[in-house]
Structure 1
Amino acid sequence: MFHKILVAIDRSEMSQAGFDEAVAIAKATGASLILMHILSLDDEESPHMPVLLGRDFYPQGASRSVGQIYEELWKAYEERGSVLLQTLTEEATAKGVAAEFTQGMGSAGPVLCEFAREIGADLIVLGRRGRSGLDELFLGSVSNYVLHHAPCSVLVIHRQPEARTKTTSEPHIQTVNG
């Protein structure tokens, strides 16, 4: 049924819930996981270039430029993503699931869909942050984009992490009529 499952990873609780579901599905179907974190300026954790407030704001004799500081912050952001991916890959492997990881850069929805197309993914799993109203209008919804543009099936995790049961190792599949 599934051979390659692409899992969108960030530091949210819903992403962790998506990862857990993907591991359960992979175990049940013998699929492998490809974990992907997107480096994006839209990410709440990405570094942002400070607004220049005039030359009097910055101390004289500063040894590093604003650009150098930003570059260091970006590298640290990228490294945190790599560490997270490595940790989750090791966790999946310890549970008997073949897994690898990659980081992409850009707008999360289009990057995920294009990568899924390139690798021939059978399923994309991602968590939904639950943005609505103006937040969704201005910040967008990665899950909404992926649902409408993915080249394969998509599983969006909607439920709250607190509602998850730790005792089941089988994926929970619920049908919705309507």
Structure 2
Amino acid sequence: MKDIKKILVPIDGSKNSMRGLDEAIYLARQCHATITGLYVIPIAKPLTDSQISYLEKYLLNNASKFMSKAKIRCGQNGILFDDDIAYGDEGPKIINYAENKAYDIIVIGSRGMSSIKETFLGSTSNYVLHKSKIPVLIVK
């Protein structure tokens, strides 16, 4: 438990992702770790700023809102918080991000925003749990 220094928390604004953040904060306090919130925009990244769609603007605004809430929550608990945005398929993006940047653990809510998709395809958290090479904590 003492070797956890970098915690990755995928955040989509859902109650479950915020519960995941709260659990990560608790863990970070015990281990003196830092937290990075990752918001994955489920579309391809535009090549130029002029190609930003209305949908992407909306998603970026949401990401900004969720991240500032997360940053405040972490700050109130004395935890250093970083945020980042990635584009693409949530599950693979989360895993690649965590492995490329050498995170010690991924703390993820059991269900995010995509409840319909989850019924048919299996959830992002389920994908991350089964594909990740680093430890995953799923918070209900």
- Residue identity in the other structure for 2:76: A
Spell out structure 1 runs of 4+ moving beyond 3 A: 134-137
Q: Deviations over 1:84-134 (max 9, x none)?
A: 11221132022100110001111111000000011100000001129xxx8
Gaps of 5+ in 2: 44-50
Q: In structure 2, what is the equivalent of residue 154 of structure 1?
A: 136
- Are 1:81 and 2:63 an aligned pair? yes
Root-mean-square deviation (CA, aligned residues, Å) is 2.0
Equivalent residue runs for 1:1-178 within 5 Å: 1-41=3-43, 71-129=53-111, 136=118, 138-158=120-140
Any idea what SS the aligned residue of 2:8 has?
strand
The question of whether the paired residues in 2 share the 8 Å contact of 1:82 and 1:103 is answered with no
Which deviates further from its counterpart, 113-122 or 143-152?
A: 143-152
Measure, in 1, the Cα distance between the counterparts of 2:39 and 2:74.
16
Larger of the two Rg values belongs to structure: 1
In structure 2, the CA distance between the partners of 1:76 and 1:154, relative to structure 1 (3 Å rule), is same
Q: TM-score, normalised by structure 2?
A: 0.83
- Residue identity in the other structure for 2:54: E
- Once the two structures are aligned, what percentage of the paired residues are identical? 33
The question of whether the paired residues in 2 share the 8 Å contact of 1:116 and 1:151 is answered with no
The question of whether the paired residues in 2 share the 8 Å contact of 1:18 and 1:126 is answered with yes
TM-superposed deviation, 1:79 = 1.7
Q: TM-score, normalised by structure 1?
A: 0.66
Gaps of 5+ in 1: 42-67, 159-178
Measure, in 1, the Cα distance between the counterparts of 2:73 and 2:117.
33
In structure 2, the CA distance between the partners of 1:40 and 1:154, relative to structure 1 (3 Å rule), is same
TM-superposed deviation, 1:137 = 5.5
User: Which structure features the higher share of helix residues?
Assistant: 2
Which deviates further from its counterpart, 77-86 or 25-34?
A: 77-86
